[in-house]
Amino acid sequence: MESIQESSYGRTWLENLFAEKIKRNPNYSLRSFAKQVGVSPSNVSRILSGKRSLTFKFALKIADALSFSPEEREHLFGIFSNTEKTSDSDLKIRKTKDLSVDCFNAMSEWHNYGLTQLLYIENFKEDHKWISKILGITELQVKLTIERLLRLEILDRDDDGVLYRTCTHLSSSTDIASAGLRKFQKQILEKAIHSLEEDHYLERDITSITMAVNEENIPKAKEEIKKFRLRMADLLEVGKKTRVYNLGVHLIPLSESINGERNV
């Protein structure tokens, strides 16, 4: 029998797919989506509301209708490969994987993290119109995002119904080969380009350095970058919080290695 968590990941995948369509066309509707993929609007609605599970066959029908790329299919297969039965001895490994790859795939849109941090902003209010304006996303995306974060237990409500975060920070290893992680990082790079062109230079810092390196030092450099990110978070989170930022540090190869070897 499919677990609640497994069903949640399939529903979240469909939510993300539908939200991506809305982002491109605010007038896009559930009926439009159903017609495009050749399924019943009521079936899609039941899956999104949690009244019906998303089967692999149904998901494949959507993927075929939308001409998914190999990477998009990899993401889809990754979700359903984790719904196979496992023995009790595998349960701990399974849960660990859920917290790393599966949960991150479900959270692949940048505004999931933006909204969780928005809760720390002074005078935050759970008003879809206000959140939509602050984050630059649609009100429907706000609604779906809050529902997703509650379902994944990243957000919860207190006795008065007020939203709160169940943890201070969210993280995932940058060494995980995850389609969701790649999608998130691509979106962050796109936001960085937008900031470079639109934000005042006093509001941002986008700099780089080009150097010839000893590749054996890369693992140590990555560890130091991780420590630097945590130090910056400690520094920037002190005092009154007025805006949500993302800190990205890039260390990327610009040439092939003379060693003739490459990690794949």
Tell me if 62 is assigned to some domain: yes
Bridge partners of residue 156, in order along the sequence: 164
Q: How many CB atoms lie within 10 A of CB 49?
A: 10
| Domain containing residue 88 | 4-165
What is the rounded distance in angstroms from the CA atom of residue 48 to the CA atom of residue 51?
8
What gap in Å lies between CA 180 and CA 186, rounded to an integer?
A: 10
pTM exceeds 0.85 for this model = no
Structural domain total, the chain? 1
pLDDT at res. 95: 31
264 inside domain: no
Pick from 112, 134, 114: which is nearest to 123 by CA?
134
Has residue 113 been placed in a domain?
Answer: yes
With respect to residue 207, please indicate whether it lies within any of the assigned structural domains: no
133 found inside a domain: yes
Could you tell me the maximum CA-CA distance found in the chain, to the nearest angstrom?
A: 61
Give the per-residue pLDDT at 82. 52
Residue 85 is predicted with a pLDDT of 38
**Cβ neighbours of residue 31 under 8 Å, at least 6 residues apart?**
41
* Residue 209 falls inside a structural domain: no
Whether residue 240 lies inside any domain: the answer is: no
Q: SS3 string of the chain?
A: CCCHHHHHHHHHHHHHHHHHHHHHCCCCCHHHHHHHHCCCHHHHHHHHCCCCCCCHHHHHHHHHHCCCCHHHHHHHHHHHHCCCCCCHHHHHHHHHHHHHHHHHHHCCCHHHHHHHHHCCCCCCCCCHHHHHHHHCCCHHHHHHHHHHHHHCCCEEECCCCCEEECCCCCCCCCCCCCHHHHHHHHHHHHHHHHHHHHCCHHHCCCCCCCCCCCHHHHHHHHHHHHHHHHHHHHHHCCCCCCCCCCCCCCCCCCCCCCCCCCCC
pLDDT at residue 136 in the model: 86
CA-to-CA distance for 225 and 215, rounded, in angstroms? Answer: 15
Residue 176 within any structural domain of the chain: no
pLDDT by 10s per residue, the chain, length 264: 344 444 567 788 888 888 888 888 888 888 888 888 888 888 888 888 878 888 877 888 888 888 877 667 767 776 766 544 333 433 332 333 233 455 655 667 888 888 888 888 878 889 999 999 888 888 888 888 898 888 877 888 877 788 888 765 565 555 555 667 777 778 888 888 888 888 888 888 888 888 898 989 999 998 899 889 889 988 988 888 889 898 888 777 766 766 766 555
